[in-house]
């Protein structure tokens, strides 16, 4: 059990450091060591990080499979934090494919699991503003970005506030307005190549989220 817990943490560290193959190996080994009937939370986390890893590697079907497992486990135990981050990951997955209706649907679900967590809500608002920006819905993006920036400013979340500032700066440039130096930084992810259409269903979803 101790090895599994350590591998789970190691997988997340490798993922954050963009060492995706090492992260995949660590998370897979952790799952193999975990008894699913007893360690649901660790299993849920491992599947979620594997979903993020495969999303980053462009392996969409594997990403959806693992995120679907994580969503099902988290839903069974009503773990709002895991539900939030899994829905957040699914939103990013569909955004990567240019499937923005699906992305917005999942980010709205993520918001519903923020449960009075202002930071989580700010993250979801910021991500949704980014989706609008990529769609060219610039006024909505600016409004959402400003709301997210307000949340992060109140929380003193400096890095997240800087990301909002750059997003707002990009939006202002697209709108043809001046890019004010104090007007807001977003470490945005580039839109990746469109990948095959996939679907996700789970016990706690409103149904299947499909592409248009």
Are residues 140 and 161 both part of a single domain?
Answer: yes
Chain segment 148-157, per-residue pLDDT in tens: 999 999 999 9
DSSP 17: T
Residue 165 in any domain: the answer is yes
Looking at the fold, whether 95 and 125 belong to one and the same domain comes out as: no
pLDDT recorded at residue 178: 53
37 lies in the same domain as 55:
yes
Is residue 195 included in any domain, yes or no? no
CB 183 within 8 A of CB 168: yes
Question: What does the H/E/C string look like for 104-162?
Answer: HHHHHHHHHCCCCCHHHHHHHHHHHHHHHHHHCCHHHHHHHHHHHHHHHHHHCCHHHHH
Give the phi and the psi of residue 209 in degrees, each rounded to 5.
-90, 115
Q: What is the reported pLDDT for 38?
A: 73
Write the pLDDT tens digit of every residue in 33-51.
987 667 899 999 999 999 9
Cα–chain center distance at 38: 27
Tens-binned pLDDT, residue by residue, of the chain (212 aa): 888 889 999 999 999 999 999 999 999 999 999 876 678 999 999 999 999 999 999 999 999 999 999 999 999 999 999 999 999 999 999 999 999 999 999 999 999 999 889 999 999 999 999 999 999 999 999 999 999 999 999 999 999 999 999 999 999 999 986 543 343 333 334 333 333 333 344 444 433 333 22
- The domain total for the chain is 2
Q: Are residues 21 and 83 in the same domain?
A: yes
Please tell me whether residues 124 and 170 are part of one structural domain: yes
Q: What is the pTM of this model?
A: 0.80
Q: Provide the domain limits for residue 100.
A: 1-115
Q: What pLDDT score was predicted for residue 37?
A: 65
């Amino acid at each position: 059990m101790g090895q599994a817990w350590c591998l789970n943490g190691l997988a997340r560290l490798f993922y954050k450091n963009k060492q995706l193959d090492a992260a995949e190996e660590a998370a897979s080994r952790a799952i193999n060591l975990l008894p699913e009937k007893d360690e649901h939370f660790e299993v849920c986390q491992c599947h979620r990080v594997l979903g993020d890893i495969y999303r980053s590697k462009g392996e969409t079907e594997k990403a959806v499979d693992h995120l679907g497992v994580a969503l099902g486990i988290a839903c069974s135990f009503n773990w709002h934090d895991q539900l939030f981050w899994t829905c957040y990951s699914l939103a990013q997955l569909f955004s990567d494919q240019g499937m923005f209706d699906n992305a917005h649907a999942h980010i709205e679900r993520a918001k519903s699991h923020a449960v009075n967590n202002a930071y989580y809500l700010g993250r979801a608002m910021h991500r949704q503003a980014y989706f609008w920006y990529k769609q060219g819905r610039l006024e909505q993006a600016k409004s959402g970005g400003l709301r997210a920036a307000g949340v992060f400013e109140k929380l003193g979340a400096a890095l997240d506030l800087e990301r909002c500032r750059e997003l707002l700066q990009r939006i202002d440039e697209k709108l043809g307005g001046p890019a004010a130096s104090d007007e807001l930084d977003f470490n945005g992810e580039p839109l990746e190549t469109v990948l095959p259409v996939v679907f996700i269903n789970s016990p706690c979803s409103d149904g299947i989220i499909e592409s248009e």
